[in-house]
Amino acid sequence: MTRLATLLALAALAVAASGCGDDGGGGATDGGAAADRDALVGTAWRLVPGGDEWQAAELPTIEFGADGRATGSAGCNRFGGDYTVDGDTLELGELASTLIGCEPAVMEAERGYLDTLARVARWEIDGERLTLADADGEPLLTFRPAEPVGD
Protein backbone atom coordinates (compact mmCIF):
# COMPACT_ATOMS: atom_id res chain seq x y z
CA MET A 1 0.00 0.00 0.00
CA THR A 2 1.45 3.37 -0.95
CA ARG A 3 1.82 6.15 1.62
CA LEU A 4 -0.95 8.10 -0.12
CA ALA A 5 -3.33 5.17 0.04
CA THR A 6 -2.40 4.68 3.70
CA LEU A 7 -3.01 8.39 4.36
CA LEU A 8 -6.45 8.29 2.77
CA ALA A 9 -7.34 5.07 4.58
CA LEU A 10 -6.29 6.57 7.92
CA ALA A 11 -8.28 9.74 7.22
CA ALA A 12 -11.36 7.65 6.40
CA LEU A 13 -10.93 5.65 9.60
CA ALA A 14 -10.63 8.83 11.64
CA VAL A 15 -13.87 10.13 10.17
CA ALA A 16 -15.63 6.85 10.83
CA ALA A 17 -14.28 6.71 14.39
CA SER A 18 -15.43 10.25 15.07
CA GLY A 19 -19.02 9.09 14.79
CA CYS A 20 -19.93 10.92 11.62
CA GLY A 21 -23.25 9.68 10.44
CA ASP A 22 -26.00 11.10 8.36
CA ASP A 23 -28.71 12.15 10.75
CA GLY A 24 -30.61 13.78 7.93
CA GLY A 25 -29.48 17.25 9.03
CA GLY A 26 -27.14 18.27 6.22
CA GLY A 27 -25.22 21.52 6.13
CA ALA A 28 -27.93 23.85 4.92
CA THR A 29 -31.63 23.10 4.78
CA ASP A 30 -34.77 24.88 3.65
CA GLY A 31 -35.35 27.98 5.73
CA GLY A 32 -31.90 27.84 7.29
CA ALA A 33 -29.57 27.96 4.29
CA ALA A 34 -28.16 31.42 5.05
CA ALA A 35 -27.72 30.67 8.75
CA ASP A 36 -26.02 27.33 8.06
CA ARG A 37 -23.77 28.89 5.40
CA ASP A 38 -22.84 31.53 7.96
CA ALA A 39 -21.67 28.72 10.26
CA LEU A 40 -19.30 27.55 7.52
CA VAL A 41 -18.01 31.03 6.65
CA GLY A 42 -15.42 32.87 8.70
CA THR A 43 -14.12 29.98 10.81
CA ALA A 44 -10.62 28.62 10.31
CA TRP A 45 -11.12 24.84 10.33
CA ARG A 46 -8.22 22.52 11.29
CA LEU A 47 -8.13 18.91 10.08
CA VAL A 48 -8.72 16.21 12.67
CA PRO A 49 -5.81 13.87 11.84
CA GLY A 50 -6.38 10.21 11.15
CA GLY A 51 -2.86 8.98 11.92
CA ASP A 52 0.76 10.01 12.24
CA GLU A 53 1.15 11.30 8.66
CA TRP A 54 1.10 14.92 9.90
CA GLN A 55 3.84 14.64 12.54
CA ALA A 56 6.36 16.46 10.33
CA ALA A 57 4.00 19.26 9.26
CA GLU A 58 1.37 21.59 10.60
CA LEU A 59 -2.15 20.22 10.41
CA PRO A 60 -4.00 21.35 7.29
CA THR A 61 -6.64 24.06 7.56
CA ILE A 62 -9.39 25.49 5.41
CA GLU A 63 -11.38 28.70 5.72
CA PHE A 64 -14.44 29.66 3.69
CA GLY A 65 -14.71 33.40 3.11
CA ALA A 66 -17.91 35.36 2.58
CA ASP A 67 -16.43 36.36 -0.80
CA GLY A 68 -16.72 32.81 -2.16
CA ARG A 69 -13.00 32.03 -1.72
CA ALA A 70 -11.65 29.06 0.21
CA THR A 71 -8.10 29.37 1.55
CA GLY A 72 -5.90 27.41 3.87
CA SER A 73 -2.74 25.50 4.55
CA ALA A 74 -2.17 22.04 3.14
CA GLY A 75 0.54 21.31 5.70
CA CYS A 76 3.45 22.99 3.95
CA ASN A 77 1.96 25.12 1.20
CA ARG A 78 -0.93 27.61 1.20
CA PHE A 79 -3.83 27.09 -1.21
CA GLY A 80 -6.86 28.99 -2.41
CA GLY A 81 -9.72 28.82 -4.85
CA ASP A 82 -13.38 29.57 -5.38
CA TYR A 83 -16.22 27.66 -3.75
CA THR A 84 -20.02 27.62 -3.96
CA VAL A 85 -22.61 26.39 -1.47
CA ASP A 86 -26.17 25.39 -2.32
CA GLY A 87 -27.96 23.74 0.57
CA ASP A 88 -25.75 20.92 1.79
CA THR A 89 -23.74 20.81 -1.43
CA LEU A 90 -20.28 22.33 -1.58
CA GLU A 91 -18.29 22.72 -4.76
CA LEU A 92 -14.64 23.68 -4.56
CA GLY A 93 -13.19 25.09 -7.76
CA GLU A 94 -9.66 24.37 -8.89
CA LEU A 95 -7.31 25.06 -6.00
CA ALA A 96 -4.01 26.82 -6.65
CA SER A 97 -1.18 26.42 -4.16
CA THR A 98 2.23 27.80 -3.41
CA LEU A 99 5.20 25.66 -4.43
CA ILE A 100 7.38 25.51 -1.33
CA GLY A 101 9.40 22.30 -1.25
CA CYS A 102 9.11 20.28 1.94
CA GLU A 103 10.18 16.83 3.08
CA PRO A 104 8.87 14.11 0.74
CA ALA A 105 6.57 12.60 3.40
CA VAL A 106 5.01 16.01 4.07
CA MET A 107 4.55 16.65 0.35
CA GLU A 108 2.88 13.27 -0.09
CA ALA A 109 0.47 13.89 2.81
CA GLU A 110 -0.25 17.37 1.44
CA ARG A 111 -1.00 16.00 -2.03
CA GLY A 112 -3.40 13.49 -0.46
CA TYR A 113 -5.20 16.29 1.37
CA LEU A 114 -5.56 18.45 -1.76
CA ASP A 115 -6.67 15.46 -3.85
CA THR A 116 -9.31 14.65 -1.22
CA LEU A 117 -10.56 18.25 -1.22
CA ALA A 118 -11.11 17.90 -4.98
CA ARG A 119 -13.61 15.08 -4.27
CA VAL A 120 -15.72 17.11 -1.81
CA ALA A 121 -19.37 17.57 -2.81
CA ARG A 122 -21.25 17.91 0.50
CA TRP A 123 -20.79 19.46 3.92
CA GLU A 124 -22.29 19.23 7.38
CA ILE A 125 -21.62 20.99 10.66
CA ASP A 126 -22.51 19.10 13.81
CA GLY A 127 -21.66 21.10 16.92
CA GLU A 128 -18.07 22.19 16.40
CA ARG A 129 -17.30 19.52 13.81
CA LEU A 130 -17.25 20.18 10.06
CA THR A 131 -17.46 17.10 7.88
CA LEU A 132 -16.74 17.26 4.16
CA ALA A 133 -18.17 14.35 2.20
CA ASP A 134 -18.25 13.05 -1.36
CA ALA A 135 -21.29 13.10 -3.65
CA ASP A 136 -22.62 9.89 -2.06
CA GLY A 137 -22.40 11.44 1.41
CA GLU A 138 -19.38 9.35 2.42
CA PRO A 139 -17.28 11.38 4.89
CA LEU A 140 -13.87 12.36 3.53
CA LEU A 141 -12.42 14.88 5.99
CA THR A 142 -13.33 16.09 9.47
CA PHE A 143 -12.34 19.48 10.91
CA ARG A 144 -12.66 21.35 14.19
CA PRO A 145 -12.27 25.11 14.67
CA ALA A 146 -8.60 26.06 14.71
CA GLU A 147 -7.17 27.53 17.89
CA PRO A 148 -6.44 31.23 17.47
CA VAL A 149 -2.76 32.01 17.03
CA GLY A 150 -1.46 34.70 19.39
CA ASP A 151 0.72 37.55 18.13
- The CATH code for residues 3-18+31-145 is 2.40.128.270
- Residues making up the chain, counted from first to last: 151
Q: Region 125-151: what's the mean pLDDT?
A: 87
Lowest-confidence pick of 45-54, 74-83, 119-128? 45-54
3-state DSSP assignment of residue 123: strand
Instruction: Judge whether 2 and 25 are in contact, CB under 8 Å.
Output: no
Higher pLDDT, 98 or 11: 98
Q: What is the pTM of this model?
A: 0.73
Q: Region 78-92: what's the mean pLDDT?
A: 95
| Residue of 120, 122, 98, 121 whose CA lies nearest to 110 | 98
Q: Is 107 exposed, middle or buried (0-12, 13-18, 19+ CB in 10 A)?
A: middle
Percentage of the chain lying above the pLDDT 90 cut: 54
Task: Give the C-alpha separation, 34 to 17, whole Å.
Answer: 30
Q: Region 86-92: what's the mean pLDDT?
A: 94
Residue 124: HSE in the Cβ half-sphere, 13 Å Cα cutoff? 20
What is the pLDDT, as a whole number, of residue 56?
52
What are 51-76's pLDDT values in tens digits? Answer: 655 565 689 999 999 999 999 999 88
What is the pLDDT, as a whole number, of residue 93?
95
Domain ranges of the chain: 3-18+31-145
Q: Which residues contact 62 (CB under 8 A, 6 or more apart)?
A: 44, 45, 70, 71, 72, 117, 143
Residue 12: in which H helix or E strand, if any?
Answer: helix 3-17
Whether 117 shows a pLDDT value over 80: the answer reads yes
